[in-house]
Structure 1
Amino acid sequence: MEGNFEQDNVREITRRIAELRDACGYSQDEFAQKLGIDPQVYHAYEQNASAIPVSLICNIANLCGVELSEIMTGISAKLHTLQIVRSGEAKSMKRYPGYRLEDLAHRFANKTMQPIMVTILPNDPPAPLVSHGGQEFNYVLEGSIELRWGEKSFVLEAGDSVYFDPVHEHGQRCVGEKPARFLTIIAE
């Protein structure tokens, strides 16, 4: 019985690794190449995780920008506050301490959400920095915006998204010569 439990646990780790690889947009061969191991060896690891070295799992966590505990337990860390996902570049997410995009539905479950469509013109003055409770998700539809978040500043293009803790002062402004439109969802 104990052996079955351990084997089931190992299968879950393997499943999470394969899902993470898919979410980052890698084939098995590409992933093996990024990890610096023989593709046949990696294929065997995904089929039978009992042989996978913990050091390799650490390398996978680093490559995909997740905590080792997320792979081992399936539970996302809650210490994160901001993540930017670049359009079409899932395999090279610009990751700050932040939630994975696929966690968004879970994080917004059973919350009151307030979706707002925002248009900012190139000559609009920067909005004052604000803070509020809840969680905020922005998805840029057109143009480019600069997100100021605490002491940091990020430029987001059409198709980019960001999820963050709005308790830190933040604000958005248009950058570029075309109007910027983005969808913002605030969940309390």
Structure 2
Amino acid sequence: MSTNSQSPAPKAQHANGLPSLSVRLRHARKVAGLTLKQVAQAAGCSESLISKLENDAASPSLAMLHRLALALGSNVSELTCEDWVSPEPVLRAGDRQINRFAKGAKKEFIDLERITHIQKGGLLQGDIHIVSPGMVSEMIEHAGEEMGYVIEGSLELTLGETTYTLQAGDSFHFPSTIPHGYRNTSASIARILWINTPATF
């Protein structure tokens, strides 16, 4: 007699926060031939903050991380990814890495579930943004383009001075140079397929 029992799906690999930046920040600065002061001036922050970041004594906000990457001639993806290239083109459901990307004042969070492999010089990056109820992202702007599709829940997407309410099934596309951010005002988790080009996070 046969049965239709199935093995439980593998659990996603969760990580608290983005990978350590200290070594890569220092390396990128030295490769660029820049001093702490020069990076600080280009990123609009203090020299002491750069020193703390390079020594793992502080963590940058997402907006600051973008400014640092720009000052170093890099991008957030290159500064934070753990592996440059994977020979395997498929990422199985349940096997993908999930990073705790941001935390709110209470228990709010944004998790990023990787759906594309990180590659040095890669032109495309895809994630599923998992946004808890009440979470508000920072407003950021940078080079590139973005598009997304709301898989589950609802989201308020702000582009410049305009805010759009998106429901499951809605999609969006905008140049990343427009200041943008979002928040989940509902009582349920929101999941958004989010594509960036070039690779950003």
TM-score by length of 1: 0.40
Structure number, greater radius of gyration: 1
TM-score by length of 2: 0.37
Higher helix share: 1
